[in-house]
Amino acid sequence: MVNPTYEKLGSAPSMIRELFAYGLRRSAEVGPENVFDYSLGNPSIPAPQPVQQALLDVLHDTDPIQVHGYSMAGGFDGTRRAVAEDLTHRFGMTIRPEELFFTCGAAAALISVIRALTVSPDSEFVAIAPYFPEYLPFVESNGGKLVSVPADLDTFQISLDILEAHLTSHTQAVLVNSPNNPTGVVYSRQTLEGLAELLRRKSTQFGHPIYLIADEPYRELVYDGVEVPFLPTIYPNTLVCYSYSKSLSLPGERIGYVCVPSCVEGQADVLHAVAGAARSSGHVCPPTLVQLALQRCADARPDLAAYDANRRLLYRELTQMGYECIPPQGAFYIFVRVPDGDDVAFSQRAKLEHDLLVVPSTAFHCPGFLRLSYCVSHDMILRSLPAFRAIREKYQ
């Protein structure tokens, strides 16, 4: 009667959501101050003041029929122009307004790109594990195949040799996410140049372009001045999927974009296919109010001081306790190696014995680690430290 794949997808909450729901229940039972919830990647700093002000200003000074009206499918010209100028200014590569197609967030951007590039049931999309769990339904429910390739498990950079072994004539795209969820790692320029060289070589070998899909919701969240190279400048056949959810703390506004720069092979066709794929998945236009606000503050950036303080505190304390952590450079995640490698058991024990909620990396298709989202209060981190210490001691 109903589609069993979707029925399952809609009834089985993700591990992350399950932990979060457990946390809410426990907070009601034992008090929120006694629950240490590192489960969700939900921004904990408010949207920058200029963004909040721009939203109010638009509501106050613009005709309500326009503020709440349709825009063109890919967004208002003015918004695309403002964002294109900001990108051009920052990355030393001209991005024209018509190369941007605004969407309801990064999920819609990614799915539009995946659908656009799926040409047969054999079409393959390669993801580097650990990866965002939704990549799997994004690809498989939209007609393609997900190919999982493990990252280098010491550095969590891309292992080019392993990747090469997984590229086939059916590979349509490689999906990369840097700064990375769940590892907090930023791919180095060296990694990305190696990746570009590999993809160029394999594109020639297979006689068709292998596109790079850059999933970049965390682009603006980096620390210690780490560089996040703009991928189209390294590999021309890059489609950028962006979201303002994390960078401007606007997940509820549902706004992001696909950027298909003019250097992309078959650029016009790709952009049309993205627009058609979006249309066929229920996209009419991106929300208008936030578009009009963005037009006024396309250069707004987050104040990362709170995240950075959390990152330093957690990294320092956990490593002092004897945990091995991947040095966190970006996003708001820290990736911790589980002493005996059983991440699911660690997460379960932490939950049941300490009301400490950490996501086992099995959820990201790479067992042996824990993801801690440090978009939480500094105080919660401080209160949680004894629990981390107590568990660590059990592993001695």
Instruction: Please count the residues of this chain forming the interface with its own copies, following the rule CB under 8 A.
Output: 80
Q: Could you tell me whether strands 256-259 and 100-103 are parallel, antiparallel, or unpaired per DSSP bridges?
A: antiparallel
User: Least separation, in Å, of the C-beta of 140 and its own copies?
Assistant: 8
Closest to its own copies by CB, 92 or 207: 207
What span, in angstroms and rounded, lies between the C-alpha atoms of 90 and 87?
5
Name the residue among 373, 51, 36, 20 with its Cα closest to residue 244. 51
Note whether 286 binds its own copies by CB under 8 A: yes
Note whether 296 binds its own copies by CB under 8 A: no
- Residues 27 and 36: beta-carbon distance below 8 Å: no
Q: Figure out which of the listed residues 26, 96, 170, 272 binds its own copies, where binding follows CB under 8 A.
A: 272
What span, in angstroms and rounded, lies between the C-alpha atoms of 198 and 187?
15
Q: Figure out which of the listed residues 89, 201, 279, 316 binds its own copies, where binding follows CB under 8 A.
A: 279
Closest to its own copies by CB, 51 or 338: 51
User: Least separation, in Å, of the C-beta of 144 and its own copies?
Assistant: 10
Name the residue among 145, 135, 146 with its Cα closest to residue 111. 135
Note whether 262 binds its own copies by CB under 8 A: no
Note whether 59 binds its own copies by CB under 8 A: yes
Q: Figure out which of the listed residues 25, 30, 32, 56 binds its own copies, where binding follows CB under 8 A.
A: 56
Name the residue among 81, 65, 48, 64 with its Cα closest to residue 295. 81
Note whether 77 binds its own copies by CB under 8 A: no
Q: Figure out which of the listed residues 23, 43, 217, 368 binds its own copies, where binding follows CB under 8 A.
A: 43
**Which two tokens mark 38?**
């590192």
| Residues between 236 and 255 with contacts to its own copies, criterion CB under 8 A | 249-254
Note whether 190 binds its own copies by CB under 8 A: no
Residues contacting residue 8 through CB under 8 Å, at least 6 positions apart: none
The 100-119 site mask, x for binding its own copies (CB under 8 A), equals: ---xxx-xxxxxx--xxxxx
E strand residue ranges, the chain: 36-37, 100-103, 124-129, 145-150, 171-176, 211-215, 238-243, 256-259, 324-326, 333-337, 356-357, 359-360, 369-373
Q: How many residues does the chain have?
A: 396
Name the residue among 36, 380, 371, 50 with its Cα closest to residue 182. 371
**Which two tokens mark 6?**
């979707």
Helix (H) or strand (E) run with residue 206 in it: helix 189-206
Note whether 121 binds its own copies by CB under 8 A: no
- Residues 328 and 396: beta-carbon distance below 8 Å: no
Determine the Cα angle at 168 with ends 167 and 169, to 5°: 140
| Residues between 7 and 36 with contacts to its own copies, criterion CB under 8 A | 7-11
Q: Which stretch binds its own copies (CB under 8 A): 29-37, 264-272, 294-302, 342-350?
A: 264-272
The 133-172 site mask, x for binding its own copies (CB under 8 A), equals: -x--xx--xx------------------------------
Name the residue among 388, 245, 375, 357 with its Cα closest to residue 310. 375
Q: Which stretch binds its own copies (CB under 8 A): 38-46, 219-227, 314-322, 364-372?
A: 38-46
User: Least separation, in Å, of the C-beta of 364 and its own copies?
Assistant: 17
User: Least separation, in Å, of the C-beta of 54 and its own copies?
Assistant: 11
Q: Figure out which of the listed residues 145, 208, 312, 392 binds its own copies, where binding follows CB under 8 A.
A: 208
Closest to its own copies by CB, 118 or 178: 118
User: Least separation, in Å, of the C-beta of 378 and its own copies?
Assistant: 15
User: Least separation, in Å, of the C-beta of 43 and its own copies?
Assistant: 7
Q: Figure out which of the listed residues 68, 90, 201, 301 binds its own copies, where binding follows CB under 8 A.
A: 68
Closest to its own copies by CB, 70 or 225: 70
Helix (H) or strand (E) run with residue 368 in it: none
Q: Which stretch binds its own copies (CB under 8 A): 151-159, 194-202, 286-294, 348-356?
A: 286-294
What span, in angstroms and rounded, lies between the C-alpha atoms of 202 and 204?
5
User: Least separation, in Å, of the C-beta of 338 and its own copies?
Assistant: 28
Closest to its own copies by CB, 82 or 158: 82
Whether the link from the prior residue into 179 is cis, omega within 30° of 0, is: yes
